Homo-oligomer: A and B are copies of this chain.
Amino acid sequence: MRSTLRSFDLAHLAHIELLTPDPAASLHFFVNVFGMTESGRRGDSVYLRGWDDYERHTLKLTPSPVAGMGHMAFRATSPEALERRVAIIEASGLGKGWTDGDLGHGPAYAFTTTDGHNMEIYYETEWYAPPPERKPSLKNQAQRFPAHGANVRRIDHVNLLTSDVAELRHFMEDVLGMRTTEMIVLDSGREAGAWVTVTNKTYDLAFTLDHYGARGRFHHVTYALDSREEVLRAADIFLENGVFIETGPHKHAVQQTFFLYVYEPGGNRVEVDSAGARLMLAPDWQPVVWSEAERRKGQAWGLKTTDSFHTYGTPPIEQYVGTRRPI
């Protein structure tokens, strides 16, 4: 199970579009509880950012009858890298074609994963230019520290549900050029989870088996905080604001992230985390493979994983219709 070499064509996870059936409550949550900054509106969508995100936005909030992920995006390393990667995606048969871009970024190439998740890549972007009241004191910082809510710093990673982990992992490795850093493989040999990266972060994207066998669902998006202490304080803030805390704060065994999962009012799971100084610097890292027995030990310090963490995703399965296949 040797991982392909990281391609360097993708620079980093860029943004995510979350669909929410309760846009006002979701916006209140992301601004006043998460501590994000609104940086634009277009159509029904509101664009948001963490104080250290360098692009105009990393979160696009769009009203929708059901919760879920609209799409997610990666930024390419260069215009040439974008072209290279688009050619490979097109060859995979999963390309959907170019869009004109969106508020904050230029032309993007849209495609779906093998499991039906909507993704896009682009190169041209708008660096965030803070208005005077958001100008930081230190010029090497994207925006003033907000001192408001949980003060999320920057987008960290996205976690998807999938009906076929191995297939999606091969797509991420072979088509998008990502490197797999950790995996869960069941006793049957079936892959149950994979963590992949395009950076020195140990993962930018993760995906785990959909409990219901559904396709293309969303598990969570995570924003990074600077310390575990900030994650604990975020728990206090979620508690004070009546936000549903699903599990945490605790430390994952896989990837060792210090995690805290909550549901935003639209029903999507969101996380704040802290990785400390953990990075993936080795160019020849071989995936760490966790067995069923190892995973049964629970999280790093013994916490049993909450059932809903293994089953709940958006759109919620009860509202599943049409081409998707709930079990």
Contacts and interface: CB of A to CB of B under 8 A. Distances in A.
A48 interface: no
Contacts of A242: 137
A5 interface: yes
Interface string A128-153: 00000000111111001101111001
A194 to B, nearest CB: 14
Contact of A232 (B153, B199, B228, B235): B228
Given A54-B282, A138-B256, A154 B277 contact: yes
Contacts of A76: 283
A3 to B, nearest CB: 13
Contacts of A240: 136-137, 144-145, 147
Contacts of A200: 12, 199-201, 279
A301 B144 contact: no
Interface stretch (A37-45, A99-107, A208-216, A247-255): A247-255
Q: Main SS of chain A's interface residues?
A: loop
A238 B154 CA distance: 21
Interface residues of A, number: 75
Given A11-B282, A145-B240, A276 B227 contact: yes
A327 to B, nearest CB: 28
Given A52-B277, A228-B232, 19 more contacts: A5-B78, A12-B281, A12-B283, A52-B278, A76-B283, A137-B242, A138-B253, A140-B182, A140-B288, A147-B237, A147-B240, A154-B279, A154-B281, A200-B200, A225-B277, A230-B233, A232-B251, A235-B251, A245-B301
